[in-house]
């Protein structure tokens, strides 16, 4: 049986580094940073690491109803969602993920679009 990306990366610690890199890039974006102005980043990074691990075939999982409930009040636009996808791609590429792995994670990320986008 083939190892998941989560397993090949080495577990939660490397995934957490990818997530930290991702949020560093998000904070650099005028369009995206506003969504995180009043957010306790340490807590968010912990949750996002678990979410990202689940996208990579790891043990954590998030149900669609929870994703929708958390994101609905944020009024995230299609444009912001796509910029987040681009930033995620960059963060994964910074950690030398293969093009196939990047495509797989982005597919899982985009599969959740309707739970996240609420303009």
Within-domain flag for 16: yes
Number of domains composing the chain: 1
Within-domain flag for 44: yes
In this prediction, residue 69 has a pLDDT band, given cuts at 50, 70 and 90, of: very high
Question: What is the model's pLDDT at position 31?
Answer: 94
Task: Take residue 55 and report the two structure tokens written for it.
Answer: 């996208």
Q: Which residues pair with 117 in a beta bridge?
A: 76
Provide mean pLDDT across the span 13-38.
95
Is the pLDDT reported for residue 119 higher than 90? Answer: no
Within-domain flag for 15: yes
pTM of the model: 0.92
Question: What is the model's pLDDT at position 94?
Answer: 96
Is the pLDDT reported for residue 62 higher than 80? Answer: no
Question: What is the model's pLDDT at position 61?
Answer: 74
Question: What is the model's pLDDT at position 63?
Answer: 84
**63 vs 50: CA distance, rounded Å:** 12
Within-domain flag for 2: no
Residue ranges making up the domain that contains 56: 10-116
Is the pLDDT reported for residue 25 higher than 80? Answer: yes
Task: Take residue 82 and report the two structure tokens written for it.
Answer: 């796509």
Within-domain flag for 40: yes
Find the helix packing angle between 41-55 and 99-111, rounded to 10°.
110
Q: pLDDT tens digit string along 84-97?
A: 999 999 999 999 89
CATH of the domain at 61: 1.10.490.10
Provide mean pLDDT across the span 32-51.
93
Within-domain flag for 37: yes
Within-domain flag for 76: yes
Contact 115, 94 (CB under 8 A): no
- Name the percent of the chain lying above pLDDT 90: 87
Provide mean pLDDT across the span 66-71.
91
Within-domain flag for 3: no
Residue 57: phi and psi, rounded to 5, are 90, 15
Cα separations in angstroms, 6 against 18, 70, 76: 11, 24, 27
């Amino acid at each position: 049986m083939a190892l998941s990306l989560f397993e090949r990366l080495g577990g939660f610690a490397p995934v957490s580094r990818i997530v930290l890199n991702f949020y560093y890039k998000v904070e650099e974006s005028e369009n995206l940073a506003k969504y995180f102005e009043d957010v306790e980043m340490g807590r968010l990074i912990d949750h996002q690491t678990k979410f990202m691990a689940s996208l990579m075939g790891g043990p954590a999982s998030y149900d669609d109803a929870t994703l929708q409930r958390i994101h609905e009040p944020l009024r995230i636009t299609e444009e912001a969602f796509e910029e987040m996808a681009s930033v995620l791609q960059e963060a994964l590429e910074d950690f030398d993920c293969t093009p196939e792995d990047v495509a797989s994670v982005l597919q899982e990320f985009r599969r959740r679009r309707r739970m996240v986008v609420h303009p």
